[in-house]
């Protein structure tokens, strides 16, 4: 069997299995061999590696990963794709397919089972409707990760590497930069997919850090604070904190924390970078400890 990475083979497989695309699962399948090579190159996959693939589709990228790695586990949500994958991946002995939602998998267990608990590589042409939740889940669950190489909307790739204080910078930028160093490997036009998406795409490799770039007492509080600031980016930081359902601080307490961290009372969260958010989160942790002591 020829590899799937061209329009002719892809259409043949889709017709053979009478497959209907499902928009709700963000299904846009790759049909360009150069892009597939670029993704696998960017992921720096070697024969020793275990790779977790999210959303294999009909197995196009999976075939490339099987040829370059020791073992692949591919997690696909769409039940109708399982028989297709059984067919297209039949020449490969180093792949397993798991049907399910990636957001419901125990990835630590996957790393333990397939990679002796060592750092894993994740590769995906991501469904665009849940790009951010998937990336945040991978990072926040503290799974051992070496790198995460993903195809995302170009605009999301720009946000991932945006500098603090710029218009593209948001909660995703700061989270990605806290956990990883982003590197853009390629820009990919819509005609490399079937069906064509409405937006341009980019391949991004996130090299996961072994040490955080800033020290903070309470990581969860740091990310609640970052989300609160960018949820209402037109409001002052003080109002963002006070209005957040994730943070137990009144407007007066928010003002006190902002003052103690050395910021102007009218500052907006979008002006701050990771070191400044970490400083404020530490002040807020101390205030919370003190208020518990007072009770």
Interface positions with ligand SAM (CB under 6 A):
25-30, 54-57, 60-61, 75-78, 81, 101-103, 125, 127, 130
In the complex, residue closest to ligand SAM by CB: 55
Q: Which is nearer to ligand SAM, 127 or 170 (CB)?
A: 127
d(CA 93, CA 19) in angstroms, rounded, equals: 24
Task: Name the DSSP letter for residue 100.
Answer: S
Q: Which is nearer to ligand SAM, 25 or 183 (CB)?
A: 25
- Residue 11 CB, shortest distance to ligand SAM, in Å, is 13
Tokens of 156: 């999301």
Q: Which is nearer to ligand SAM, 49 or 76 (CB)?
A: 76
- Residue 81 CB, shortest distance to ligand SAM, in Å, is 6
Tokens of 74: 């591919």
Q: Which is nearer to ligand SAM, 99 or 250 (CB)?
A: 99
Examine residue 139 and say whether the peptide bond preceding it is cis (omega within 30 degrees of 0).
no
- Residue 226 CB, shortest distance to ligand SAM, in Å, is 24
* Distance set, CA 280 to CA 26, 123, 141, 246, 263 (Å): 38, 35, 23, 16, 9
- The 10 Å Cβ neighbour count of residue 179 is 21
- Residue 25 CB, shortest distance to ligand SAM, in Å, is 4
- Residue 162 CB, shortest distance to ligand SAM, in Å, is 23
Q: Which is nearer to ligand SAM, 77 or 206 (CB)?
A: 77
- Residue 30 CB, shortest distance to ligand SAM, in Å, is 4
- The 10 Å Cβ neighbour count of residue 26 is 17
Task: Name the DSSP letter for residue 203.
Answer: E
- In the chain, what is the greatest distance between 2 CA atoms, to the nearest angstrom? 72
- Residue 176 CB, shortest distance to ligand SAM, in Å, is 19
Task: Name the DSSP letter for residue 171.
Answer: H
* Distance set, CA 29 to CA 63, 122, 185 (Å): 13, 18, 19
d(CA 213, CA 232) in angstroms, rounded, equals: 25
Q: SS3 helix, strand, coil % of the chain, rounded to 5? A: 45, 20, 35
Q: Which is nearer to ligand SAM, 101 or 155 (CB)?
A: 101
Q: Which is nearer to ligand SAM, 57 or 170 (CB)?
A: 57
What letters, b where the CB count within 10 A reaches 16 and e where it falls short, cover 97-134? beeeebeebebeebbeebbeeeebbbbbbbbbebbbeb
């Amino acid at each position: 069997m020829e590899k799937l990475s061209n329009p002719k083979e892809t259409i043949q497989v889709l017709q053979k299995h009478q497959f209907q695309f499902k928009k709700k699962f963000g299904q846009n399948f790759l049909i360009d061999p150069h892009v597939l090579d670029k993704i696998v190159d960017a992921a720096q996959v070697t024969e020793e590696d275990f790779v977790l693939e999210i959303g294999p589709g009909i197995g196009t990228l999976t075939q490339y990963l099987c040829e370059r790695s020791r073992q692949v586990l591919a997690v696909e949500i769409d039940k109708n794709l399982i028989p297709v994958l059984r067919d297209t991946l039949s020449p490969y002995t180093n792949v397993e397919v798991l049907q399910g939602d990636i957001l419901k998998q125990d990835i630590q267990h996957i790393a333990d089972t397939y990679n002796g608990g060592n750092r894993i590589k994740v590769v995906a042409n991501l469904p665009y409707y849940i790009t951010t939740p998937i990336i945040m889940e991978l990072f926040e669950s503290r799974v051992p990760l070496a790198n995460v190489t993903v195809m995302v909307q170009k605009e999301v790739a720009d946000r991932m590497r945006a500098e603090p204080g710029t218009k593209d910078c948001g909660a995703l930028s700061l989270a990605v930069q806290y956990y990883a160093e982003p590197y853009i490997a390629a820009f990919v036009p819509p005609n490399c997919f079937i069906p064509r998406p409405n937006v341009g795409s980019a391949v991004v490799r996130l090299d996961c850090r072994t040490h955080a770039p800033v020290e903070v007492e309470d990581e969860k509080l740091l990310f609640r604070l970052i989300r609160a600031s960018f949820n209402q980016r037109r409001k002052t930081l003080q109002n963002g904190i006070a209005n957040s359902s994730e943070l137990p601080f009144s407007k007066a307490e928010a003002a006190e924390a902002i003052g103690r961290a050395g910021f102007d009372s009218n500052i907006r969260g979008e002006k701050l970078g990771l070191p400044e958010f970490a400083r404020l989160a530490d002040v807020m942790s101390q205030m919370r400890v003190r208020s518990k002591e007072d009770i």
